[in-house]
Amino acid sequence: MHLRSGTKQLDLNSPKIMGILNVTPDSFSDGGKFEQVDNALKQAIKMVEQGASIIDIGAESTRPGATAVSLDEELTRVMPIIEKISANINCWLSIDTSKAMVMKEAVLAGADIINDVRALRNKGALEIAVKENTPVCLMHMQDQTENMQVQAAPQNVLRNVKDFLLERIEACLEAGMQKSNIILDLGFGFGKSLEDNLTLLAHIKYFVALKYPILTGVSRKSMFGKLLNREINERLAGSLAGAMIAMQAGSQIIRVHDVQETVDVMRVLQAIKK
């Protein structure tokens, strides 16, 4: 299984680590640390040196209760950073956005993947993604970020998430998207209870069977805060356990804050498989 973007090719026959680069003032874990271009570039270089294959750049927080950011503000935050990183580092870049115009401008500036927590449901997003012919990650979200945790959790989370993802896959294929450009994200923490999150983590193989690359993002999530009674900066062990479970189940992309530690886990698992 491979992803292709222009002349780039990413082999997903072994797990790949996606490093999180939030360029927002209010992200739940590292808000405000990497807003400046130079700081963002240094962090991207560090993560690539530690073993990240993809850098995921986001300029709008998707934490529960987060408020929307205007198009102009998101472009102002993210575009100089994408341009800088693209010009200085040879790695895959992902743009974490739900806005069609941000997707378009980011891909033109060097982004290789569109990572959309709203699964291309916003106006114009699906059309732009098809036109740009770039890999896209479709994520399951219970509702919009402002009130996603207010909604009642699905009674059958496996069926609910699968049905949603299949519907979005069908919409993408009907719009002309290549099947090889589709990545799936189960949406850990987005409108889901602790039990839902644990059920999804225990059943990643259920979604791997759909034959699309699976991106798993559980890094520092509140599920570990609730399960282990740990603050955000104390969730490394839980995050690594989640990453290990996801890799063993066949998840091809692991989205994390702590790149070096996760790469160590991956290397141990690969050594055992050999």
- Quickly tell me which residue has 């709008």 as its tokens: 60
The strand pair at 2-5 and 8-11 is best described as: antiparallel
- Contacts of 173 by beta carbon, 8 Å cutoff, 6+ apart: 179
- The Cα 60–Cα 66 span in angstroms is 9
How far CA 17 is from CA of 36, 64, 95, in Å, comes to 24, 24, 15
Q: Cite the active site residues.
A: 221, 255
For the chain, how far is it from start to end, CA to CA, in angstroms? 19
Residue 114 near residue 134, CB atoms below 8 Å: yes
- Contacts of 69 by beta carbon, 8 Å cutoff, 6+ apart: 24, 59, 60, 61, 77
- The Cα 241–Cα 265 span in angstroms is 9
